[in-house]
Chain A
Amino acid sequence: MIKKFLVIPLLFIFPSFIFADNFDFQRAFSDYFYNFNLYRQTHQEYISAKESYLRYKTLTSKNTALEKTLKMTQARDETARTYLIALKMKTEETPGISSYEKNILTFKLDNEIDWYSKHKEELSSAATLEDLVDLAKKAGERYQSQTEILIYQALYKILVGKEIALKEKISFQIEAIKEKLKEIKENGNKDTSLPERWLLEVENRLIRFEEKISASQNNMARMEGGIYSDKTQIYRESQLSLEEAHQYLKEASRYLKEIIREVKTGDGNY
């Protein structure tokens, strides 16, 4: 009898552990996608209810409007919340972001996730349509003043992280080639002057890459300048700088391949 009492709670506890372990970006993204679709559906219903209320101004239509607006605003909060969770998971899974930066971003994103979660609960307390509208406006203000900028910062960190990770991989290969060239030079059975010169070209590309990254980071810093700045435009410009930086990485990688080819080719082939 005691065993039965022990087994039943375990059946409920273990799946939650398994679920917690499997929760990754893909799962978080699916949650967000589902909620976003749900939001769109409730938004349509809200629009119809609003039009009906504004046209007839009856108590019934007002009550329906209250019900549909509550559903829609709650779905909106849930969409924002699940989107922020997906963003957090993506940040955690992206290489190239330092653990310090990850911690700061996770802390900020968790704050926002909590806010939307609480706000969603708060919406249920609205007794009238007017109260609900006032409460719903708070989410809009929060999004405008804090959430939107945090989203752009997180998205930007994800993109920079990817670039930094790629650059680190290239730098690692540069070091390996340098080691090999040193060994070849010591052996004296191959001329290394040409690949050494080309290595300088590769390093030059990485310097330009750093410059582009730095320029895009400075541009992103403008976003915090004021709530009236065009965040989308700033983000887009920074993203373009990252694309340019990416081209330098491609060139560096191509040059490294040429260096390897030169190392594999005997002297006097050129």
Chain B
Amino acid sequence: MEIIDQDFEVIPNQEQKAKKVLPKKPIIFGGIFFGVLLILVLLAVFLNFPLSRPEPIMPSPTPTPFPTFIPEISNPSFYATDSAVLKIEEELKKIEQELETTDLKEANLNLPVLDWKIDF
């Protein structure tokens, strides 16, 4: 009677087991490392720790702004509360506002792009 060879599951010996376990270590260490790093980053973000040294603020040329701050009149004249003067002042404010908001392009009314060349 012929005995047929059977394929059994290859059971790894201790040496092979040790080889398979070894590559897991760097993954575990890496995971711990990145975990700690992530916690540190999160702490830094939530507690506003400076992550890097702030760059020194270099002076850069900026356009001269139009002075919007107008100091109080320390020595008002007899006409400081005059109704006619105050009315003109109010009207001038409205004009200034209008000058700022006037649309000088009317872009919404630009000529429509239409195909005028019909050809076959």
Residues of A whose CB lies within 8 Å of any CB of B are: 29, 32, 36, 39, 43, 50, 53-54, 65, 69, 72-73, 76, 79-80, 83, 86-87, 90, 129, 132-133, 136-137, 139-140, 143-144, 148, 151, 155, 158-159, 162, 166, 169-170, 173, 176-177, 180, 184, 189-190, 239, 242-243, 246, 249-250, 253-254, 256-257, 260-261, 263-269
Given contacts A166-B99, A265-B75, contact A180 B104 (CB under 8 A): no
Residues of B whose CB lies within 8 Å of any CB of A are: 70, 73-80, 82, 84-85, 87-89, 91-93, 95-96, 98-99, 102-106, 108-109, 111-112, 114-120
B102 near A53 (CB under 8 angstroms)? Answer: no
A265 near B102 (CB under 8 angstroms)? Answer: no
Q: List 25 A-B contacts (CB under 8 A).
A: A29-B108, A39-B114, A43-B115, A50-B120, A69-B118, A133-B118, A140-B116, A151-B111, A155-B109, A162-B104, A169-B91, A170-B95, A173-B88, A173-B91, A176-B91, A180-B85, A184-B79, A246-B104, A250-B99, A253-B95, A256-B92, A264-B77, A266-B76, A268-B75, A269-B75
Chain B residues positioned under 8 Å from A54 (CB to CB) = 120
Q: Nearest chain B CB to A191's CB is how many angstroms away? A: 10
**In whole angstroms, what is the CA distance A5 to B70 when docked?**
71
Interface of chain B, main secondary structure: loop
**In whole angstroms, what is the CA distance A73 to B87 when docked?**
56
Chain B residues positioned under 8 Å from A190 (CB to CB) = 77-79
Given contacts A133-B119, A137-B118, contact A263 B77 (CB under 8 A): yes
- 4 new A-B contacts, CB < 8 A, other than A65-B120, A176-B84, A269-B74, are A180-B79, A246-B102, A249-B99, A264-B85
**In whole angstroms, what is the CA distance A177 to B79 when docked?**
12
Q: Nearest chain A CB to B86's CB is how many angstroms away? A: 9
Count CB-based A-B contacts (< 8 Å).
130
A155 near B106 (CB under 8 angstroms)? Answer: yes
Q: Which of B70, B75, B84, B114 is the one whose CB lies under 8 Å from A80?
A: B114
Which are the 7 A-B pairs with shortest beta-carbon distances?
Answer: A140-B116, A266-B75, A136-B118, A264-B80, A266-B77, A269-B75, A260-B89
